[in-house]
Structure 1
Amino acid sequence: MSSKDIFHCEENDDEVIYYDGLKEAFIGLGHQQFKGPYAIYDREKAIEIIARDFYKEKKKEYNFDDMDAETRLNVVQAVGDEAYEEAMEYFEYNTEGAWMGDRTPIFVIMKDLLTPIEPIEED
């Protein structure tokens, strides 16, 4: 199921490009003057989704029943780290780095992950 099956935009909906498999990372639609709408995704959440899928596949390579608890924990951590690194590389090249035309989706680094240069005053 793609995000398009779930979300609907009244204007120009047929031109919005959605990523299959990243429904959980979809945060909304954005516009620029005379352009848009664009599907907008949470960048870190998208990477986490890809990493989760990679982790599930990598985990199949191991027989955890034959391992003691400490070994199992070490293997799970190593597999998780490796899956995240591969997901980041995959995302940067195949997802964020893909050009699909004028309506290519946008990935946002969420505010809570940014380090401000100067303090942001809240009203």
Structure 2
Amino acid sequence: MGPLRDGWTRADVEAVIARGEPAELLHVPLVVSLDPPGRVWAEQICLRLAAHPSPNVRGNALLGLGHLARIFRSLHRRRAQPVIEAGLQDPDPYVRGQAGAAADDVAWYLGWVLAGREHDRGRPVCPR
């Protein structure tokens, strides 16, 4: 497998996750979701980081889920939907904003209608 976005490797991603520094971690969801080697691996990382204590890490992880929905036209719904819905209710405005962007992406690319976003029902979905 070649490098990820900006020359990162899977080993780089795992090393940053192991160090756990929020200033580094906030880049991981973007690196793995903008040029992913595979949906499942990238999605698992984004889902894991969506529960991080840092709002910047959480928000970027939610945004990453939206990127993956756009790129792959697929997400594991039972895992991703509750995480995005929780992000829409997060106390931090950055997290709520990124969750809103992810909610827009899953509505457009996957046709999901999330709790609290029933206004999306009946809207057109991106043609495949």
| TM-score normalised by L of structure 2 | 0.27
Return the structure number with greater helix share.
2
Larger Rg: 1
| TM-score normalised by L of structure 1 | 0.27
Which of the pair has the greater relative contact order for Cα pairs under 8 Å at 6+ separation? 1
Return the structure number with greater strand share.
1
